[in-house]
Amino acid sequence: MVGTVSSDKHMKELQFAIEINATKQRVWDTLWQDATFREWAGIIDPGTYMVGELKAGSEIQFISAENGYGVTSLVEQVVPGEFLLLRHQADTQDAGARARESEWTGGAETYSLVQNNGTTTLTATFDVPPQQEKYFKTAYPKVLDCIKELAEKD
């Protein structure tokens, strides 16, 4: 792994992985292109979209179109097609216009892709507030199944 996640003390670190029959680049594009991002991210929070650029040092916002809540994250490390480390800087509301309770602030999120013989292993590691742990343990495998399905489409 290129980088490591150092968990915030009030968060619980979760990790999920899936094998996908597609190249790293195809999986990466599925993760971060707008249309496919909205599909898989919407499983966690309907209507979620991303504002910003996946460039080291940039801020990116993940916003729920349904309730206007979101998270502003720093792109701490990015190796296109291989690795992304996000550090959550602020919890927001009103489509990122105002701060709200710091439930996710300080947490980290990584996406790692390793290709072997035409198959890519996607590993997602992220910090969640303890009260969200059960939900993510149920919902995130559905997210990975969705990413796999989207990436394996012709």
Total-model pTM: 0.85
Which residues have C-beta within 8 Å of that of residue 140, sequence separation ≥ 6?
14, 16, 44, 124
Tokens standing for 9?
């003390």
- pLDDT on residue 63: 87
Each residue's pLDDT tens digit, 3-29 = 444 444 578 999 999 999 999 999 999
Q: What is the pLDDT of residue 81?
A: 96
pLDDT of residue 22: 97
Domains and CATH numbers, the chain: 12-152 (3.30.530.20)
25-63 residue pLDDT tens: 999 999 999 999 999 999 988 889 999 999 999 999 888
pLDDT per position as a tens digit, 77-123: 999 999 999 988 776 666 556 655 655 667 889 999 999 998 999 99
